[in-house]
Amino acid sequence: MQPHALVTGGAQGIGRSVAERLAAQGWSVTAADRDEAALAAVEGQGIAPAVLDVSDSAAVAALVDRLPPLDVVVNCAGIAAELLPLKDIPREAFERMLRVNLGGTFILAREAARRMERGAIINIASRGYLGGAGAAHYVASKAAVVGLTRALAVELRWRGISVNAVAPGMVETRMIDDFTPEMRARLSRLEPAGGPMPPATIAEAVAYLASAAGRMVNGQVLLVDGGKSLGVAPC
């Protein structure tokens, strides 16, 4: 039977690339996103759009109820924010970050796990989970996604459901569009590849973790960052 994947944040960027990658290998894919206009562009070729706010528990449960059984869930919906030092991060911005990045991942993982027979849950974290200045709320939300991933992997392993995270370095998507040219140049210098990678690079990592062989990997964080996370070397 044709496997079915639900990809959140599937209207654009990494999520869209994941949806297209899985559809290209013959999967039926539901791309869920709160951006209805952007979703219209992904419909077709094995991808069905669904308007969804991942932080809305009732809406997530209702969507999963009306979809065919899920083999794979990719939690890719996420938000970033203006870079700010800790002293300037508003409480509301911190809470919103956790509500979407962590809360959305938790809600869909829970609703999926309640209904899935076997399969894989793949959470898009960020290399930033290891730390970084100017985005404490983003870093905290992604570190929490990694914690959630590990906890769920332990709980769900006996049911044949693997749970892993992919932690990308800088990826060429709308999320980095807001950077000033100076900031983009500064951040690009930290990337071993010299700049952002295409979303398709992350989609390949997700496709591996979604595959039968990839599901033997469990509770791991796959850093796809060209080695940026290894630190700097003065040569």
Ligand X SMILES: NC(=O)c1ccc[n+]([C@@H]2O[C@H](COP(=O)([O-])OP(=O)(O)OC[C@H]3O[C@@H](n4cnc5c(N)ncnc54)[C@H](O)[C@@H]3O)[C@@H](O)[C@H]2O)c1
By CB under 6 A, name the binding residues for ligand X: 8-9, 11-15, 33-35, 38, 52-55, 76-80, 100, 104, 124, 126, 168, 170-171, 173-176
* Residue among 176 and 217 whose Cβ is closer to ligand X: 176
Contact between 129 and 139 under an 8 Å Cβ cutoff? The reply is: yes
* Residue among 160 and 185 whose Cβ is closer to ligand X: 185
* Residue among 60 and 120 whose Cβ is closer to ligand X: 60
* Residue among 103 and 214 whose Cβ is closer to ligand X: 103
Angle at 148 between CA 116 and CA 128, to 5 degrees: 125
Give the span between the Cα atoms of 184 and 177, in whole angstroms: 9
- Quote the least distance from Cβ 120 to ligand X, whole Å: 17
Phi first, then psi, for residue 219 (nearest 5°) are: 75, 20
**Sheet order of strands, 4-8 included:** 47-51, 28-33, 4-8, 72-75, 119-124, 161-168, 221-224
**What single-letter DSSP state applies at residue 12?**
S
For 136, the token pair is: 């404490």
For 111, the token pair is: 């609703």
- Quote the least distance from Cβ 81 to ligand X, whole Å: 10
- Quote the least distance from Cβ 160 to ligand X, whole Å: 26
Give the span between the Cα atoms of 192 and 101, in whole angstroms: 26
Is 138 assigned a catalytic role? Answer: yes
Give the span between the Cα atoms of 225 and 188, in whole angstroms: 12
Angle at 199 between CA 109 and CA 134, to 5 degrees: 75
* Residue among 116 and 145 whose Cβ is closer to ligand X: 145
Catalytic residue among 138, 145, 171, 201: 138
Distance of CA 60 to the CA centre of its chain: 16
- Quote the least distance from Cβ 114 to ligand X, whole Å: 20
- Quote the least distance from Cβ 143 to ligand X, whole Å: 12
Active centre residues (catalytic) = 138
